[in-house]
Structure 1
């Protein structure tokens, strides 16, 4: 088993090095016909390519990965300082695996400052009346769903909170931590359901802060359980516990993990939404599987017993083995992605049956964690 994981590591290193030679300073998003597409400012996923290279640097200590990781930094720096209105709650995904990673791995002070400035932008999205971080900006003025964005949270934001927790650790300014804790508490009362599945989004009155209703954007229905969203909840609350020691967060992480593990397919790779009616015909989402593995390995670090730790670790390992052996591109040398069968935005018909840069990233993160026995420097 460990030998297969070692093979997976070298597969990740080899393909990432090959991609770096052709990607240059561009930011990949998802594949089409086995070739990555790119976004000039990175969209919400721009941090994961740099993060993937930092993971490879950590696993291999090869300087070429550090060089590749920094090649596109200028794009995210320009976005932060010249186009801050394009940022939203996914600021953590953009600046944690890039500038925080660079700082943690090398001590680079300029990256530290850029990451702190990004944390400021995330903190500014806090709605004090509702005690939540606004997820998205208003995309189209006057359009109903877009206007709801003024009072919308989405489950993905739980995975962005470590940027705020890290900022408090760096500065001793509790304002960052207070926002993160308030948001986690609000999510616990609203977007996390009583059965520990999660709504994709939850809407509040932006002026009064009163909670209104759960609603989906990328899931099958408002009341369904979008699988990737549930994996964001597992890791998000595991990290919230790591940074605060609040056992309430650990309990939510455990129970959302149970909700996920009890619903996933027998080969450990989930359907894109657990509530779809035609399960035999539904697409899988390997990105959700990869996020689950990384999240469960983080949760395992906070287990109360060796049995509990092994249960989460073994589930993550089996997930990774199946991703590598059945869903990876290891026999497709011209395919630039690492994992096939990612499901980006099913309702919109966007990025289906492809590689997703965040799926590739979390696959690599989980492999790196296992190689280091949980002792990676970490970016969260």
Structure 2
């Protein structure tokens, strides 16, 4: 009798545990579904804003939107030579991916083709990754146009000509070397351009492109960061010895400060480098540069343009840095084995996106951009508290990444490239 009673109790406990598990699982799925509705809503919001921009795009070669200054309602337009030229076609490709509407594919192809001359000039710019991979790269990923592939491969070869083997990095701002009196300089932004080299090395390009990307990342990891893992904006090298001369800033508050977008490029760049190489040192470093960034964020998780601006809390914010970081953290959360830490990264990224998706940060009826409150080049007095095209690009990218993760409901990263 006693054994039967214990058996009944045991079975009842198992049943209760099973029911609790089902309830919790169902609640998690419902939460994901509700969040996914918000993601779809925000993707549709981006589509509506982008349509407004398409409707007002001027004719001619200067037709790529870059920024809308605070207090204004119209985009400032650029041509294909500007480092931001790839973000608008990249946004259009992401909208095609997110909505499956052919009109976005047609528009994306039109603006992407305008950037084709970039692949025809050797050593044109260190930002060919931003310019070409965001446009032709996303386009090739989604439609496998062989013409796009050739542009990507030629552009990767062009970018590689800026690599200095003595230093171990790609030269930044080649057209400004004499003006700045920096014999060989490298900016942290250059970490993002490495993705073009990795891709090309695996899609018909030289193996040397992979080696250049790895060497650049390794050199940057060793020379571009202070002991607390905050990043310099620029590192200047001696072209003869290859040795580091100094770390300085160009767009940050001071040589010793943590410029928000620069730190976000580092988080994104080293995360991407681990994905492409599986070198554990890159994964470890991505976490270190992410952790110091997260530890110093204000309550709403949107950084001030520079973490060390003495005007804080009255300093301007930089939504673009938040967008880059949110996208990077979503990917980083899928790559680390420490699941509690992975969950923290994902939750931080989702909270950033939730904040960016509020009235406080979305442009809505203020102008035709997606977001407000980004800061471009504060020391130069340009693009301060503005709407900037790369903020919109990484915001939409982060939304798409989160959507894929929620659809899979696992931590295996669906490569967005």
TM-score tier (shorter): over 0.9
The answer to whether 1:41 aligns with 2:80 is yes
> What is the match of residue 17 of structure 2?
none
Which whole-Å CA distance do the structure 1 matches of 2:79 and 2:175 have between them? Answer: 21
Per-residue displacement from partner, 1:23-64 (whole Å, max 9, x unpaired)?
267211111313211112241111110111111110100011
> What is the match of residue 7 of structure 2?
none
Aligned 1:252-331 pairs, distance under 5 A: 252-329=285-362, 331=364
Which of 68, 79, 82 aligns to 1:31? It is: 68
Which whole-Å CA distance do the structure 2 matches of 1:121 and 1:208 have between them? Answer: 24
Larger mean CA deviation between 41-50 and 111-120 belongs to 41-50
> What is the match of residue 175 of structure 1?
208
The answer to whether 1:247 aligns with 2:280 is yes
Which whole-Å CA distance do the structure 1 matches of 2:247 and 2:140 have between them? Answer: 38
The answer to whether 1:338 aligns with 2:377 is no
Q: Partner of 2:174: helix, strand, or coil?
A: coil
Change (3 A) 1:328 1:279: closer
For the 8 Å contact 1:29–1:42, the answer to whether it is kept is no
> What is the match of residue 6 of structure 1?
40
Per-residue displacement from partner, 1:244-299 (whole Å, max 9, x unpaired)?
11110001100111011001111010000001112122110000010010111111
> What is the match of residue 197 of structure 1?
230
Which whole-Å CA distance do the structure 1 matches of 2:47 and 2:251 have between them? Answer: 31
For the 8 Å contact 2:224–2:234, the answer to whether it is kept is yes
Q: Partner of 1:282: helix, strand, or coil?
A: coil
Larger mean CA deviation between 5-14 and 186-195 belongs to 5-14
> What is the match of residue 256 of structure 2?
223
* Ranges in structure 1 where 5+ consecutive residues have no aligned partner: none
Which has the greater radius of gyration?
Answer: 2
Per-residue displacement from partner, 1:96-138 (whole Å, max 9, x unpaired)?
1111111111110000010110101111110011111101114
For the 8 Å contact 2:122–2:159, the answer to whether it is kept is no
Larger mean CA deviation between 221-230 and 369-378 belongs to 369-378
> What is the match of residue 76 of structure 1?
115
Q: Partner of 1:213: helix, strand, or coil?
A: strand
Could you say what the CA RMSD is over the residues aligned between the two structures, in angstroms? 1.7
The answer to whether 1:348 aligns with 2:380 is yes
> What is the match of residue 160 of structure 1?
193
Which whole-Å CA distance do the structure 2 matches of 1:60 and 1:306 have between them? Answer: 31
For the 8 Å contact 2:230–2:289, the answer to whether it is kept is yes
Per-residue displacement from partner, 1:210-244 (whole Å, max 9, x unpaired)?
11110100000001100100000001000110111
Q: CA deviation at 1:377?
A: 5.2
Change (3 A) 1:336 1:42: farther
Q: Partner of 2:232: helix, strand, or coil?
A: coil
Which of 353, 378, 391 aligns to 1:359? It is: 391
The answer to whether 1:116 aligns with 2:149 is no
Per-residue displacement from partner, 1:53-110 (whole Å, max 9, x unpaired)?
11111010001111111222343112332x556x321110011111111111111000
Q: Partner of 1:214: helix, strand, or coil?
A: strand
> What is the match of residue 378 of structure 1?
416
The number of equivalent residue pairs is 372
Aligned 1:58-69 pairs, distance under 5 A: 58-69=97-108
The answer to whether 1:51 aligns with 2:83 is no
Q: Partner of 1:351: helix, strand, or coil?
A: coil
